[in-house]
């Protein structure tokens, strides 16, 4: 399901089957001199998967992928086909643009794009305070802004990108700095730190010590600048808090990390903490629903054979995010359940009702949906298990 179905040069929209991968979509768009306005760190996802979880990039003036969709086609759990957009079937449209797959299968989408553009990216060392003391100034310092904070220190790297007509000049990556040290040696050090967690803060400081290596400037096609290498396997947890709560949330997180460092068996956390910004949306389950947000993401290195302790960090992080009206990223680890979600999303009950209408037999209910979207009583009463449903209704399958 990855064909291009229609293209409107005047409106700058493209209609595609929803299974197309973002990597392929960038090429298809470039061929028509168009591009997505904002993209996250990778492009391995399908458009449908990225949309279903409100996947986002960064830029306070730019929405998540769900908000870029102007029309979609959904086959619901009863087999009925719906075409919806801002004018027709508006409620279903607002629910289905971030649906976690719970309403049915999205077969095609129309995406609002913009004329193809290059980005001029500049990466500079800074401090956490320099960014959050006047956050408003920081978020407006470029069209696309993100911050990587190095916990256990006040160090940070600011990444800014603006549309440009400058000549393309690809990223000055070097094998020694970016692959050998930045990936292999650093990963080995993190693995060793698994057995000696007290070394993590000094490892983080050392990584920042050569601050000139963190300084970079380049010009490239937009999607190449938006994407970058996420390095090694990680545990990830990311929440969106209202923009005006972000400085306080980050300060509280820093206080917690510092207090842990003073404790003998306190948590030691890996870098970076990633800070991004997304414009408000009218999609019911977008974490940016009716508020411009700051996404704060934490990671812990995840060696294959020796799990690192990360739950204490996650718990403290989530407690801080909750007290700052946070909503978790749907596609990352989080511990919000039905009642928590109901209290933070004004349209949550409407979404639950829409799910009942679209999928009364629970064809699309999986463990995730059962945990997060079904009320405890629904969870008990619904057949909910695809194989059971199919067996009952069509024993031949």
Ligand X SMILES: Cc1cc2nc3c(=O)[nH]c(=O)nc-3n(C[C@H](O)[C@H](O)[C@H](O)COP(=O)(O)OP(=O)(O)OC[C@H]3O[C@@H](n4cnc5c(N)ncnc54)[C@H](O)[C@@H]3O)c2cc1C
Q: How far is the CB of 154 from ligand X (least distance, A)?
A: 25
Q: 1 or 30: whose CB is closer to ligand X?
A: 1
Q: 130 or 357: whose CB is closer to ligand X?
A: 357
DSSP 168: P
- Would you tell me which residues interact with ligand X (CB under 6 A)? 18, 40-42, 45-46, 48-50, 52-53, 55-56, 100-101, 105-106, 230, 329, 331
Q: 40 or 201: whose CB is closer to ligand X?
A: 40
Q: 158 or 236: whose CB is closer to ligand X?
A: 236
CA angle 67/141/287 to nearest 5° reads: 30
Residue-by-residue DSSP string for 237-274: EEEEEEGGGHHHHHHHHHHHHHHHHHSTT----PSPEE
Q: How far is CA 335 from the centre of its chain?
A: 16
Q: 71 or 153: whose CB is closer to ligand X?
A: 71
DSSP 176: I
Element spanning 389, H or E: helix 386-393
The rounded distance, in Å, linking the Cα atoms of 327 and 330 is 9
Q: How far is the CB of 38 from ligand X (least distance, A)?
A: 10
Q: How far is the CB of 259 from ligand X (least distance, A)?
A: 29
Q: How far is the CB of 341 from ligand X (least distance, A)?
A: 15
Q: 21 or 205: whose CB is closer to ligand X?
A: 21
Q: 28 or 331: whose CB is closer to ligand X?
A: 331
The answer to whether 242 touches 325, Cβ cutoff 8 Å, is yes
Q: How far is the CB of 151 from ligand X (least distance, A)?
A: 19
Q: In b/e form, how buried is each residue of 186-219, taking b as 16+ CB within 10 angstroms? A: beebbbebbeeeebbbebbeebbeeeebbebebb
The answer to whether 93 touches 72, Cβ cutoff 8 Å, is yes
- Count of alpha carbons within 13 Å of 122, Cβ hemisphere only? 9
Q: How far is the CB of 199 from ligand X (least distance, A)?
A: 26
The rounded distance, in Å, linking the Cα atoms of 292 and 245 is 11
Q: 65 or 269: whose CB is closer to ligand X?
A: 65
Q: How far is the CB of 351 from ligand X (least distance, A)?
A: 13
Q: 339 or 368: whose CB is closer to ligand X?
A: 368
The rounded distance, in Å, linking the Cα atoms of 188 and 306 is 13
The rounded distance, in Å, linking the Cα atoms of 303 and 160 is 31
DSSP 104: E
Q: How far is the CB of 162 from ligand X (least distance, A)?
A: 19
The answer to whether 285 touches 99, Cβ cutoff 8 Å, is yes
The rounded distance, in Å, linking the Cα atoms of 215 and 35 is 27
Q: How far is the CB of 112 from ligand X (least distance, A)?
A: 18
């Amino acid at each position: 399901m990855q064909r291009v179905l229609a293209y409107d040069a005047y409106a700058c929209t493209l209609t595609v089957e929803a299974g197309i991968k973002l990597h392929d979509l960038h090429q298809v768009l470039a061929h028509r001199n168009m591009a997505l306005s904002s993209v996250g760190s990778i492009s391995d996802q399908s458009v449908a998967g990225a949309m279903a979880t409100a996947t986002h990039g960064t830029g306070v003036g730019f929405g998540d992928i769900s908000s870029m969709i102007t029309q979609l086609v959904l086959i619901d759990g009863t087999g009925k086909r719906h075409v919806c957009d801002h004018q027709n079937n508006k409620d279903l449209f607002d629910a289905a643009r971030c649906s976690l797959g719970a309403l049915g299968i999205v077969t095609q989408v129309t995406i609002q794009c913009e004329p193809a553009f290059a980005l001029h990216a500049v990466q500079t060392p800074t401090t956490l305070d320099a960014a959050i003391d006047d956050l408003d100034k920081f978020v407006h310092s470029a069209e696309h802004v993100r911050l990587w904070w190095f916990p256990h220190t006040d160090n940070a790297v600011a990444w800014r990108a603006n549309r440009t007509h400058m000549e393309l000049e690809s990223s000055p990556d070097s094998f020694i700095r970016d692959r050998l040290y930045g990936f292999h040696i650093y990963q080995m050090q993190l693995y060793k730190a698994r057995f000696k967690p007290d070394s993590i803060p000094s490892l983080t400081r050392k990584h920042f010590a050569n601050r000139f290596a963190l300084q970079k400037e380049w010009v490239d096609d937009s999607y190449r600048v938006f994407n970058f290498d996420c390095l090694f396997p990680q545990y990830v947890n990311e929440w969106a808090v209202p923009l005006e709560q972000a400085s306080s949330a980050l300060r509280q997180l820093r206080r917690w990390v510092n207090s842990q460092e003073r404790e003998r068996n306190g948590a030691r956390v890996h870098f970076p903490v990633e800070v991004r910004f997304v414009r408000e949306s009218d999609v019911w389950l977008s974490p940016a629903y009716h508020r411009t947000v700051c996404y704060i993401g934490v990671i812990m290195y995840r060696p294959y054979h020796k799990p690192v302790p990360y739950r204490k960090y996650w718990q403290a992080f989530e407690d801080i995010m909750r007290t700052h009206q946070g909503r978790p990223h749907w596609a990352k680890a989080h511990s919000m359940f039905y009642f928590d979600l109901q209290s933070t999303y004004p349209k949550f009950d409407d979404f639950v009702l829409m799910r009942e209408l679209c999928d009364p037999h629970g064809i699309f209910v999986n463990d995730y949906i059962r945990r997060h979207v079904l009320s405890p009583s629904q969870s008990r009463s619904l057949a909910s298990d695809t194989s059971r449903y199919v067996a009952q209704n069509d024993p031949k399958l």
